[in-house]
Chains A and B, each alone.
Chain A
């Protein structure tokens, strides 16, 4: 990996009598070893704001929950970020510097996230933070990272309605996921009526608001909209309601342990998703979640996301192999894990384009940064700090993998503040 061209190569490397000699040595090492090492520009040049950058290393922060409820979801992201960092180091690092990381545990507790991000920025002076998972943890970090002018690479698909100059959103915002999903259900499956179901917090509520607007626009019907508290485990009542209303599509954004209960109880209530009566379209169940739910309970549901482990392209095959070699054969990779993997690579690309680790200089060059070797395929950073990416529809198989049945032709434009959808 490492298709991103060195844009900072060949800048002045230092002054003084030893310069020529050191250049010779460097040139020799180029021939012997990697090519990027030679181009390492002086630290004073690429780091004017006191970040943790030395002549041969740069320190970044990883901030996810590895204990507490959210550990289930966030550990995959940590693994992906570390893998990306390892691979970048193996291919010569960033501006000739090896990436080191400081990992902190957000412990599934939002104030802890704020605390730890402050520590990473003030004490460790990290050049970038790869982290946060839930919107709540991102919102906790936000004021800190804006105050100290850091840069957060945030991997989760989320509700949108945010665009911080100090965050890069590598997951999809809500419209990218939802509009394509609903259009697909309408066009391909002839869906006319929808039942919106979600856990009770901001992401499902915002997502359903967008979904409802879109469904109204298409002149179709929402026959029910329903929210259950996080961690709710009894879905018999809503299953009865769904049976009574007979929607064509259940649009589900249930999260966490509730997911397991919901799908097990649907199955137990005699709903066979492979019949597609009703069809279930989810925006929250990745391969990771299926491991807990059980493939036999979700066989036949559809998911609208940008990445599935089964995506068939050379980048992804390489990524999946590397991931499994590092973390074991029984690993599964979900949408967010892949988005987390993009973080370090996009950061590297931006740093090299800017020729500097300075946050302000990186920010200027974000728009248009591309990553061609992304497992999901080509991605590009939009000027609103979100990613242009394709949306895919996957059909869940009994082995817990999705089979990709549809892919948008064009990259979907990220639109965190969709007009008329709020």
Chain B
């Protein structure tokens, strides 16, 4: 398998493959965090998660267009504005949806599944009507294109690094929010025992809304980041949703750490196998392993132990 390659070539390939795995990992983390927060906290399976991501992507597209027309001098920095906007817009829409729809369905988990699926169809068709059925191209500032030349062979894509940094910051941010803030304490209290949390005066409805909005906002950031590496079209969100569920379910529904561990495991397994096998086979094998492990551990990798 390695015939004909010099050892230095092999070293650089392993380095670049490692990097490929890590960038897949950060994509998974970005996708899955928002979903995991909503699923873990509220037990709501948000089928429209991909569409919230695409809302973030379209926000980025509009922002880049705006900067190109009105602020061409600041174009290099538009991306940071786009990320903030994507978060705010998606979070606002998320809060609205929670108020309009989700809160009426809390005791009917299967209905939320259907309702959010319907929502995803509505959102897709709305994008199609507003932005057209064709994918849009989001132009990147010059400094985000190209790669870092580490050695002759090893090149690290700059936008890959950038996605990694965003994923890392958000993971750390979510960790601080969930485990080091008053809000996080309330969230965890509601997750562990809703009636008890309400009894001690926690406004669980408010917590729910904030959490749903937070999850959607993170989806928006993910969408903004993905304009760098993927397509932005009305139904592009569908490409991510299956992988996202896979990561969340495999990690254990109510555990954020589990989500991150599972994202790491799946991404490394997949990118390693992709190198030795073809893309489709790698995916099949990854899914097989995940199914196998889930049969042994139905709760996922890291199940939260709570008394019901």
Interface residues of A (CB under 8 A from B): 66-69, 71-72, 75, 200, 225-229, 231-234, 236-241, 243-244, 256-261, 264-265, 267-270, 288, 291-297
How many A-B contacts are there with CB distance less than 8 Å? 143
Instruction: Give per-residue flags for B239-273: 1 if the beta carbon is below 8 A from chain A beta carbons, else 0.
Output: 11000000000000000000000000000001100
Interface: B133 (CB within 8 A): yes
8 Å CB contact of B233 from A244, A257, A297: A257
Which residues of chain A have C-beta atoms less than 8 A from B5's C-beta?
A: 244
Q: Which residues of A sit under 8 angstroms from B16, Cβ to Cβ?
A: 236, 240, 243
- Residue of A with least CB distance to B135: A292
Q: Which of B9, B133, B279 contacts A71 (CB 8 A)?
A: B133
> Do B138 and A294 touch (CB < 8 A)?
yes
Across the interface, A269 reaches (CB within 8 A) one of B13, B147, B239, namely B147
Q: Do the beta carbons of B278 and A226 come within 8 Å of each other?
A: yes
Whether A236 contacts B279 by the Cβ 8 Å rule is no
Cα–Cα, bound, A244→B6 (Å): 11
B240 partner residues in chain A, CB cutoff 8 A: 233
| CA A257 to CA B231, docked complex, whole Å | 5
Q: Check B27–A292 contact: CB distance below 8 A.
A: no
Is A234 a contact of B24 with CB atoms below 8 Å? yes
Q: Which residues of B contact A228 (CB under 8 A)?
A: 278-280
Whether B149 is near chain A, meaning CB under 8 Å from some CB there, is: yes
**B residues within 8 Å of A by Cβ?**
5, 9, 13, 16-17, 19-20, 23-24, 27, 125, 128, 133-139, 145-147, 149, 153, 155, 157-160, 226, 228-236, 238-240, 270-271, 274-275, 278-280, 282-283
Expressed in whole angstroms, the Cα–Cα distance for A261 and B274 within the complex equals 16
Residues of A contacting B230 with CB < 8 Å?
A: 233, 257, 260-261, 264
Contact of A291 among B23, B137, B153 (CB under 8 A): B137
Contact A240 B275 (CB under 8 A): yes
Given known contacts A67-B125, A231-B238, A270-B147, is B139 in contact with A296 (CB within 8 Å)?
yes
Q: Is the CB of A292 within 8 A of B231?
A: yes
B270 cross-chain contacts in A, Cβ below 8 A? 234
Assess the A269–B157 pair: CB atoms within 8 A: yes
Hey, which chain B residues are within 8 Å of A71, CB to CB?
Answer: 128, 133, 234
Partner of B157 from the list A67, A238, A268 (CB cut-off 8 Å) is A268
**11 pairs from A and B in contact (CB 8 Å cutoff):** A68-B235, A72-B133, A72-B134, A232-B283, A234-B23, A234-B27, A244-B5, A257-B135, A265-B157, A270-B147, A297-B137
In the complex, are the beta carbons of A268 and B158 less than 8 A apart?
yes
Known: A257-B231, A270-B149. A237 touches B17 (CB 8 A): yes
Measured between alpha carbons, how far is A256 from B19 in the docked complex, in Å? 26
Q: Which residues of chain A are within 8 angstroms of B279 by Cβ–Cβ distance? A: 200, 226-229, 232, 237-238
Could you tell me the distance in whole angstroms from the C-beta of B190 to the nearest C-beta in chain A?
34
**B275 nearest in chain A by CB position:** A237
- Indicate the member of B5, B125, B233, B279 with the most A CB atoms within 10 Å: B279
